[in-house]
Each structure stands twice: as structure tokens, then as C-alpha cells.
Amino acid sequence: MNRNVLLLALAQALMMSVNSLMVTSAAIIGSHLATNKALATLPLALQFVAVMLTTIPASMLMGKIGRKLGFLLATAIGLIGGGCGIVGIYLESFSLFCIGTIGTGIYTGFGNYFRFAATEVSPAERKNTAISYVLAGGVLAAVIGPNLANLSKDVFAVTYLGIFVSVVVLYLFNGINFLCMKLPRPAAHDFRQNTRSMMQIASQPKFIVAVASAAIGYAVMVLLMTATPLEMTHQHHQFSDVAFVIQWHVLGMFVPSFFTGHLINRFGTARIILCGSGLMLVCILLNFSGSTVWHFWSALLLLGVGWNFMFIGGTSLLTEAYSPEESAKSQALNDFVVFTAAACASFSAGALLHTLGWQLVNYAVVPLIAAALCAHGWLWLNGRRPVTTGR
């Protein structure tokens, strides 16, 4: 494997370890610190808002200074956020804790370009597998994150303090990892000439369906993933059970990455995305069928696999819709839309669960999945093939 792709996969693993720590614990910590329990998911929602607001400036900045310097800048911001989280938990300050999660969100906003950085250091015929291998780094996160949350939450006298100490340590390790990378400097393109306008790029059916697939897959995943720990707590399951379910969810998100790229090359992007949509529908059926740990486990496992197929499929389709000169702005718009959808889903998860209940949270995502299916039907009717045959 390409050395830089391997290091980017490690970077993904460490970043996603932090994110799985957050998914496992942020809503529970938020519920502990907030006086209004409807705001329990606000810290996690603010993380997604920070990701959303970072995507465009991060892409444009790295288009000028390069990926490596951008990732190192993100490390500094992430460390500040981790420090704020530590102080917030120690002082029982909900607002400081929220500031800490904003810092982790900015870090993730930069880190979400690991997959695109991998395509830039790989030959054309290896781009699909490079994306998959980088996202496969999340398999380590499935082992590290939830287990670290469970082990570190009671290390210090103040409950949950150890979780954010772990965040700082993981970010420090990733900073060292970035220093070992050899990523290309940005090419000196004249972005005012020889490129299409953003409107021209974004109006392509292929671009629209690529962005819609990734955004809907992410929104559905985030909504159900964010609500699940709270619902499990309401059902009187232990924190260790929550960590177990989230661990397998993260495994479902990233283990398929070892072969998703090969599946896309063999069967085409559209079939993989549609398969992901189907798995998400099965997840919803499982959520309706019961509330044991095993119901939550199987539902979130399938939710993770469905997300993997929709997100990697959407990313793969997106790379066919722009030229190298158009990559920074195209990737920025894609990730802005994707993480806007994720932020909205995360914001609404706590309020929906608190006011409407678990059943309606699941009903709410069905129209989103239907929209993804309709988008592919529209692309097919336009005579465009949303598939990538073997390159």
C-alpha cells in the first residue's frame, strides 16, 4: 500500500477514535451538565455545525497552503478544544464543554479531507480503493473509541474528565503522524480561468446525486446514532452497553471499507448506494421491533454498513464530476452540504427524542431515504449512468 495512504488511514483511525468517543459520551455528558435535558445533544450538534462551517474555508485554505500544513493547523485547534472540554467537565460548565466540542468539530472539518488527500497521492485506477482504505482506518476507531470512553470515564475523581484527556492524547499522536507524511504541495492553478463556475459544476446530475447520496446517508446515520445512546439510557441500559453498541456501529461504518471500493468497481456506484439505502430501511424496522441491547446492536450495525455504502459511493461518484483544477471548490461544496445535513440531524435528534419519542425519530428518516432512491431514479431518467465500471 502507498505509504501516504497508510498514514492517512492511521490519521482517520485516530480522528474517528475521538469522534466515536464523542458519540458514545457527549450526549450523556451534555445531559449531566445541562439544566434543560432537551439540550443534551447540543454539544454533539455544535460539533457537526463546526464541521459544516469549517469545510469550505478548510478546503480553500489547503488549496493554498497544502494538506500537511492544514492538518497541523487543525491539530492545534483540536488541542485547544480538548483543553476547553477538560475545563468544562471539571467546572461542570455546559457552555465550556460546548466550546470544547466546537474545537473537535473544526478538527474534523479538516480531517474529512483525508479521503481526498488519498486520491491525490494515488493513480487514477486506485482512487476508489484509496478512499476505501483511508475510511477503513475507522476500524481501529471502533476498537479504541468506545473502549477508551468506558475505561477513561472514571479514571479521575471527576466523572468523564478522563474522556477529554484521551481526546488530547489522540490529537497529539495524530500531530506526530502528520509530520511523517509527504503530501504534494498544491498545484499553481489559475482558478479564475479554464475552470467552470460552481453553478455549472453543481448543476450536473451526477454531482447532484453524488452530494445527495452522501448527505442523506450521513443525516440518517447521525440522527439515529445520536439518539440511540439517549434512548438506551432511557431504557435503563448500562453505559457499557451503550459503548458496546456504538463500537459495533463504528465497525459497521468502516469494516466494509476494505472491500467497498472493489464492490464499486465490480457492480457500479448506483447499486452500492441503493444497497446502502436498503440496509438503512432494515435498521429502521429493527428499531421498531424491540428495545433490547441486541435490537440496538443489530440496528446500528446495519446503519453503519448502510452509511459506508452511501458515503463512499457518493464520494466516488463525486470525483467523476470535476477536474483537478476544480477539486478544492467542488469538494468544499460537497462537504458543506453533507455536514450541514449532519448538523441539522444532530441538532434535531435530542429535541425529537425528547418531545416526540423514539418511534417518530425513526419515522422521520424514511422520507430522506426515499429521496435518495428518487435521486437515482431521476439520474437514470436523465440518461446518465450513476455507475463506475472498472477503471
- Please write the tens of the pLDDT for every residue from 155-189: 898 989 999 999 999 999 999 999 999 888 776 55
The sign of the CA dihedral 354, 359, 362, 363 is negative
How many Cα neighbours within 13 Å face the side chain of 222?
29
pLDDT at 122: 81
pLDDT at 193: 54
Residue whose C-alpha is closest to residue 213's, from 99, 369, 79? 369
Return the axis-axis angle of helices 257-267 and 138-152, rounded to nearest 10°. Answer: 150
pLDDT at 194: 65
**Displacement of CA 163 from its chain's centroid (Å):** 20
pLDDT at 245: 92
- Read off the pTM: 0.76
Q: Which residue numbers in the chain have pLDDT < 50?
A: 190-191, 384-391
Q: Are 88 and 95 in contact (CB under 8 A)?
A: yes
For residue 275, with 0-12 CB atoms within 10 Å meaning exposed, 13-18 middle and 19 or more buried, which class applies?
middle
pLDDT at 386: 43
Cα separation, 12 vs 374, in Å, equals 32
Q: Cell numbers 471499507 label which residue?
A: 257
Instruction: Please state, in angstroms and as integers, the Cα–Cα distance from residue 353 to each residue in 38, 123, 301, following that order.
Output: 9, 46, 20
Return the axis-axis angle of helices 127-136 and 3-33, rounded to nearest 10°. Answer: 40
Q: Are 69 and 179 in contact (CB under 8 A)?
A: no
Cα separation, 59 vs 286, in Å, equals 38
Residue by residue, what is the 3-state secondary structure of the chain? CCHHHHHHHHHHHHHHHHHHHHHHHHHHHHHHHCCCHHHCCHHHHHHHHHHHHHHHHHHHHHHHHCHHHHHHHHHHHHHHHHHHHHHHHHHCCHHHHHHHHHHHHHHHHHHCCHHHHHHHCCCHHHHHHHHHHHHHCHHHHHHHHHHHHHHHCCCCCCCCHHHHHHHHHHHHHHHHHHHCCCCCCCCCCCCCCCCCCHHHHHCCHHHHHHHHHHHHHHHHHHHHHHHHHHHHHHCCCCHHHHHHHHHHHHHHHHCCHHHHHHHHHHHCHHHHHHHHHHHHHHHHHHHHHCCCHHHHHHHHHHHHHHHHHHHHHHHHHHCCCCCHHHHHHHHHHHHHHHHHHHHHHHHHHHHHHHHCCHHHHHHHHHHHHHHHHHHHHHHHHCCCCCCCCCC
What homologous superfamily is domain 3-180+198-381 in, according to CATH? MFS general substrate transporter like domains (1.20.1250.20)
Cα separation, 138 vs 181, in Å, equals 19
pLDDT at 383: 60
pLDDT at 1: 62
Contacts of 43 (CB under 8 A, 6+ apart): 26, 27, 29, 30, 94, 97, 98, 100, 101
- Please write the tens of the pLDDT for every residue from 40-61: 878 988 998 898 899 889 988 9
